[in-house]
Amino acid sequence: MIDLRGRWRPALAVLSASALLLTGCAKSEDDPAAKSTADSSAAAQATKSASAGGSTCDLTKFGGQKVDLKTATIGFSQSEKEANPFRIAETQSIKDEAAKLGIPAANLKVTNADSKFDKQITDVSTLIDQGVQLLVIAPLNSDGWDSVFQKASSKKIPIVTIDRKINAKHCTDYLTFIGSDFAEQGKRAADKMAKALNNTGTVAILLGAPGNNVTTLRTQGFKEQIAKVAPNIKIEFEQTGQFSREEGQKVSEQLLQSKPNINGIYAENDEMALGAITALKGASKKAGDVKIVTIDGTKGAVQGIVDGWISSVIESNPRFGPLAFGTATKFFSGEAIPENIIISDREYDSTNAAADLGLAY
C-alpha cells in the first residue's frame, strides 16, 4: 500500500474549496455564472495525503536546474483516445492550467498515444528530443519505460506521472506520482456493493485494462473488502472490458448469457458500466434488477444513478492540471516533493447524485 503519511495540508485545501462554495452561494441562486464557479471550485482536486515522511525529491538531489514554467517548454503525454470523458477532462485540465499560468500555447506540447503503448514511448522520446524541460505523463502501462527514463535522466528532465503509477525508481526515473488510492477505491466500491445487495448475492467484475496498477489495485481492494464485510457475496465472473464502453457491453452480454441471474456488477470504470447498462437493456432487464457499482464520476454514470441503473459511483478525479503544475513549481523553487501525492475522491449515490451532477465530468 502507498505510504500516506505527510505534512501537506489536505484540510486547508478542503476548507479553501468550501470557502469558495460559500462565496458562490452568497450570489443569486439563479445566477448561472455563480453556480458554474461554485461547481468548478468544488470539483477541483484536493490533496488527501502526501508521503513527505517517506521518500522525497528536491532539485539538488535530482541534479536538475531551476526552470521558470512560464517560459519553459513542457510536454504532456496522454495515453488513450479522448473519446473517454476521463481523458477529455484530464487533457483539458492540463491545457487550462497552463493557460491560467500564462504559459504560451506553443510551449505546451501535447501528444496522444491512442491507447498504443509503443506510440506513447515514441511520443515521449520525441518530446525529449524537442527540448522539453518538464514531462507530465498519463501512462498507459506501469512497466516498459526504461528507455524513456534513461533519455530523460541524461538531460535531467523531471517526470510527473498522473493517474497511473510507473514502476520505477523515485527521484532518479521520476519526480512524483499524483493520483488516487486505487486500492481504497476498490474497498469503497465493495462497501457500496455490500450495501446494495444486503451482504448476499453473486457479483461479476468488469476488469480494467491489464498491465497497469489501477486495474490491479482496484481489483485487489474490492476482493479483500468483500471477503471482509460480506463473505456471503460470491464473485462468479471476472473479465477485462479494457476500460471501454464497447468492450464493457460485449463482456456484459457474455456474462448475461452465462450467468443470467447475476445480482451485481462491479465495473472498474464508468465507461464499462455504461456498456453494461446497454447489455442489461438488451437482455430485457429493468433498472435496479442488477446492482452496478463503478468508479470514475462521469456525468453519464452519475446520471445513471438518477435513472436507477447504477447504485453508486466512486469518483476518480481527472482534473490534474493545478496539482501537476503546482507541484512542478514547488520543485523548481527548491521544495522537497513527496514520492506519492494522493488525492481525495468523493462518491455519488441516490442521496446526492441529482444535486451533485454538476460536479461530475
Q: What is the mean pLDDT of residues 86-115?
A: 97
* Whole-number Å distance between alpha carbons of 212 and 342: 17
* Residue 83: band (very low, low, confident or very high) from pLDDT cuts 50, 70, 90: confident
**pLDDT(217) > 60:** yes
Q: Which of 13-17, 55-59, 295-299, 305-309 shows the lowest mean pLDDT across its residues?
A: 13-17
Selection from 178, 103, 89 nearest residue 139 by Cα: 178
pLDDT tens profile 227-273: 999 999 999 999 999 999 999 999 999 999 999 999 999 999 999 99
pLDDT tens profile 317-327: 999 999 999 99
> 100-109 b/e with 16+ CB inside 10 Å = b?
eeebeeebbb
Map out the domains of the chain with their CATH numbers.
Answer: 41-180+317-345 (3.40.50.2300), 182-316 (3.40.50.2300)
* Residue 6: band (very low, low, confident or very high) from pLDDT cuts 50, 70, 90: very low
**pLDDT(20) > 80:** no
Q: What is the mean pLDDT of residues 121-145?
A: 97
Which pTM was predicted?
Answer: 0.86
The length of the chain, given as a count of residues? 361
* Residue 44: band (very low, low, confident or very high) from pLDDT cuts 50, 70, 90: confident
**Percent of the chain scoring above 70 in pLDDT:** 87
pLDDT at 51: 54
**pLDDT(9) > 60:** no
**pLDDT(1) > 70:** no
Residue 211, by phi and psi: left (phi above 0), alpha (psi -120 to 50) or beta? Answer: left
What mean pLDDT is reported for the chain?
A: 89
